[in-house]
Amino acid sequence: MSSSNNTTTQARRNSIRAPKVGHKKSRKGCQTCKTRRVKCDETLPECHVCRRLGLTCTYAYVDGTPAVKTKVEDGSTTHIKSSPSDSHGYADMASIAPSLSAEPVQSHTLDESRQRRFTELRLMHHWMVNVSRPFGLTSPLVWRELWYDEVPQLALQHENVLYALFAMSATHLLTTLPNDREEILVQARLKYWVWALREQTAAVTNLGSSNTDAVAFAALLITMNALVMLQERSLEPYEPPMEWLEVGRGAFAVLPDIEKVDEHRGLKILIETTEPIWSASAKLDLAVDADLAAVLSQEIVSNDDWSDADTVEAYETALSYIGSFRRATTVDGTAADVFLRWITMFPFMVPRRFTDLVLEQRPRALVTLAIFFAVLGRTKALQFLGEIGDRTIARREVHAIRDVLPPEWQVFMAWPLAEVDSSPLIAQ
């Protein structure tokens, strides 16, 4: 096993927090905490530990009664207690996915017909010619081959990948028709989007060696599509991009440890190429990121509880990740898809507590999110996924956040606003 493999695996494990030792055993704790060897508080239907870390919380028995049985690949069964975080958030997303777009879903669209076959052929052609090949144009050959070779092959065998690919291809295609959005294409995209989430939920529930690659690549496609669809959402009144943050949490949670993946598999390449991000510093570099550290100032009036260790950790972890991402953008010659990996991994690398603070629209959390979007705006990574025009996702989100912040927090918006309004894109 290589040193690089060890580093990647350990970094991923550390991002979910290492198990504590010497704790008192919990006899009725959830199966997830028992596996991780940490003390469970036994809260039902979901313990606080799993809730905070965004893990699937499973109980073998609830109130003396066996939990729901779910089949796994080898024909045996596992006892799973359903919870809001099951399937890494995909189940909830299937019901709210249409809110990412202003277009309503119509049930009669996409019946089995000549029109559907034509639409799917069109979307696959667009993926092969206009999405997958340019996507990794500046990357090594092995990375490019993942998207125009391996992913389409997986799509022919797994419907979660197929529908996720169609949804993303449709999103990209719709950006080429800004003044003439085809109704059939709009409806098709939303249908495939919802179907992708539902099929992904089922695949995660039955995760095994035969579908691990498909689940991982479908998760990435779903996350990237959710991100690009932010350009279509209404920002009045402003609501944080929770759909993207929630579905993004599941993308990398389904990746196995690298030593369990065979050589020469696409999944191996995918995990190895994210290693620098897993290894990103967990602490702010005060010499370089003094402006980010200033966001943690307790002198500003806020409703943040600084006696709560989870809250402090949430802000520090999010800002340290953003600091590492910002430093990565200063490296000459970095491929756009490397930046895209930094962007798509953000929802998973930050603690769930930070996502909760964003949902509550805490000013400090919104400022942190604005800084992230400003760093995102330094790159042209999203152009490979279909973002076009001057009103970029980064610019829209930063301005929308500025408009809802209290006066005392506006000082922290100077840098994000300057970045999205005047800074040129990084040359690739």
CA dihedral (17, 23, 29, 31) positive or negative: positive
Q: Are residues 313 and 229 in the same domain?
A: no
What pLDDT shows up at residue 113? 83
Indicate the length of the chain as a whole number: 428
Is 200 in contact with 90 (CB distance < 8 Å)?
yes
What pLDDT shows up at residue 426? 47
What pLDDT shows up at residue 15? 45
Given 236, 251, 266, the domain boundary residue is: 251
Instruction: Using pLDDT thresholds of 50, 70 and 90, give the confidence band for residue 240.
Output: very high
Tell the burial category of 407 from Cβ atoms under 10 Å away from its Cβ (0-12, 13-18, 19+): exposed
Flag whether 21 is in a domain: no
Is 164 in contact with 196 (CB distance < 8 Å)?
yes
Q: Are residues 285 and 395 in the same domain?
A: yes
Q: In angstroms, rounded to a whole number, what is the distance separating the alpha carbons of residues 363 and 290?
A: 19
Q: Are residues 222 and 337 in the same domain?
A: no
Q: Are residues 312 and 398 in the same domain?
A: yes
Q: Does 19 or 340 have the greater pLDDT score? A: 340
What pLDDT shows up at residue 109? 46
Query: Which residue has 């010499």 as its token pair?
Result: 287
Q: Are residues 222 and 289 in the same domain?
A: no
Given 38, 59, 80, the domain boundary residue is: 59
Helices (H) and strands (E) in the chain, counts: 21, 4
What pLDDT shows up at residue 41? 81
Is 98 in contact with 104 (CB distance < 8 Å)?
yes
On the question of pLDDT at 279 being above 80, the answer is no
SS3 of residue 189 by DSSP: helix
**Average predicted confidence (pLDDT) for the chain:** 77
| Average pLDDT of the residues in 328-348 | 83
Amino acid letter for position 375:
V
| Average pLDDT of the residues in 354-381 | 94
Q: Are residues 414 and 301 in the same domain?
A: yes
As beta bridge partners, residue 80 has 68
Q: Are residues 242 and 287 in the same domain?
A: no
On the question of pLDDT at 95 being above 80, the answer is no
Given 59, 77, 98, the domain boundary residue is: 59
Q: In angstroms, rounded to a whole number, what is the distance separating the alpha carbons of residues 67 and 90?
A: 21
Q: Are residues 327 and 373 in the same domain?
A: yes
What pLDDT shows up at residue 12? 44
Instruction: Using pLDDT thresholds of 50, 70 and 90, give the confidence band for residue 232.
Output: confident
Closest C-alpha to 127, from 155, 102, 101, 100:
155
Is 399 in contact with 320 (CB distance < 8 Å)?
no
On the question of pLDDT at 22 being above 70, the answer is no
pLDDT in tens, 42-73: 887 778 777 777 677 776 544 444 343 333 33
Residue 79 phi, psi (nearest 5): -90, 120
On the question of pLDDT at 180 being above 80, the answer is no
On the question of pLDDT at 75 being above 60, the answer is no
What pLDDT shows up at residue 206? 87
Flag whether 92 is in a domain: no
Closest C-alpha to 161, from 219, 206, 226, 207:
219
Q: Are residues 401 and 348 in the same domain?
A: yes
Contacts with 180 (C-beta within 8 Å, 6 or more apart), sequence order: none
Tokens coding 360: 């509550």
Tell the burial category of 105 from Cβ atoms under 10 Å away from its Cβ (0-12, 13-18, 19+): middle
Which conformational region is residue 63 in: left (phi greater than 0), alpha (psi within -120 to 50 degrees), or beta?
A: left
Flag whether 397 is in a domain: yes
Window from 140-144, 372-376, 406-410 with minimum mean pLDDT: 140-144
CA dihedral (227, 229, 235, 241) positive or negative: negative
Q: Give this prediction's pTM.
A: 0.73
- 45 prior amide bond cis, ω within 30: yes
Q: Are residues 231 and 357 in the same domain?
A: no
What pLDDT shows up at residue 261? 73
What pLDDT shows up at residue 389? 58
Flag whether 85 is in a domain: no
CATH code where residue 32 lies: 4.10.240.10
Q: Residues of the chain with pLDDT > 70: what percent?
A: 71
Instruction: Using pLDDT thresholds of 50, 70 and 90, give the confidence band for residue 328.
Output: confident
Q: In angstroms, rounded to a whole number, what is the distance separating the alpha carbons of residues 386 and 229?
A: 9
Q: Are residues 132 and 52 in the same domain?
A: no
Instruction: Using pLDDT thresholds of 50, 70 and 90, give the confidence band for residue 14.
Output: very low
SS3 of residue 25 by DSSP: coil
pLDDT in tens, 116-161: 899 999 999 999 988 887 766 666 777 778 888 889 999 999 999 9
Flag whether 88 is in a domain: no
Q: Are residues 121 and 236 in the same domain?
A: yes
Flag whether 261 is in a domain: no
On the question of pLDDT at 258 being above 90, the answer is no
- 98 prior amide bond cis, ω within 30: no
Flag whether 198 is in a domain: yes
Closest C-alpha to 389, from 185, 100, 177, 126:
177
Contacts with 252 (C-beta within 8 Å, 6 or more apart), sequence order: 12, 219, 274, 345, 348
Residue 308's domain comprises 280-421
Count the domains in the chain.
Answer: 3
Query: Which residue has 């719709």 as its token pair?
Result: 174
| Average pLDDT of the residues in 28-49 | 73
Flag whether 238 is in a domain: yes
Per-range mean pLDDT, top range of 64-73, 356-365, 374-383, 390-399: 356-365
